[in-house]
Amino acid sequence: MLLPPVYALEWSRTELHLQYGNLAVPTFAGGGDAYHLIYTVQHASGWQYGDNYFFVDTLDAQNSEFQDFDVYGEWYANLSLGKITGRKIGAGIVSDVGVILGFNWAREPGIKKYLPGLRLSLDLGGFTFANLDCTAYLDDSEGVSSGGAPSEGDSFMIDFNFMRPFKIGEASFSLEGHAEYIGGRKNEFGGIVEPWVLAQPQLRWNAHERFALGIEYQFWMNKLGDRATDESVVQALFVWKF
């Protein structure tokens, strides 16, 4: 009997994050702000033909019903055309091109999004990785009739994700995270969901090989498509590395 080949991981990185900060509440959820405790499991790994990434957030709003113990996750699988063909695919600072598929999910509002597209892997000096992802943003949410948030039309996403380690003396640091733009669309009632810009860079001090301390700065213009809500917040960050 012939068995299918087993593709071992070439590398793997799993982390547990704890964040705390005072986040904006969109006006459609009452407005104002609320302190949030966010627990995150994050994983990235590479294999023979590509790489995978996912995270799952558990959000605990301390003084608001908005995101009061909600769960949100994203998963992305990338197939490297360079690895598959055995050739260099790209030119200039583009070191590889990949086919990527993403899935976004939120429990309480019943949100589901599919994100098929392309990844450009960038060769930037000093960066562990730098990617520019260009995907569709396809809605498959449950909608109001199922007790969730309003379903939406389809759109697109452009996302830059990166990691840049550096040292100051003997101390090890890193700047990592992402910045995304998601285009505008309409919800099931014809209301406008504004395009948004979301940036979440983290500055980490790698105090030990197993843990890091730092901050995450969250900038969100038109948070969750709400034109009246912009966010600029610094959150405390603790990272445990498995």
pTM of the model: 0.93
Looking from the CA of 220 toward its CB, the CA atoms found within 13 Å total 19
Q: What fold characterizes domain 11-241?
A: Outer membrane phospholipase (ompla); Chain C (2.40.230)
Cβ atoms < 10 Å from Cβ of 75: 16
In this predicted model, what pLDDT tens digit does every residue of 49-79 receive, in sequence order?
999 999 999 999 887 667 677 899 999 999 9
- The yes-or-no verdict on residue 7 having pLDDT over 70 is no
In this predicted model, what pLDDT tens digit does every residue of 184-237 receive, in sequence order?
999 999 999 999 999 999 999 999 999 999 999 999 999 999 999 999 999 999
Average confidence score pLDDT of the chain:
95
In this predicted model, what pLDDT tens digit does every residue of 159-191 receive, in sequence order?
999 999 999 999 999 999 999 999 999 999 999
Q: What is the number of helices (H) and of strands (E) in the chain? A: 1, 15
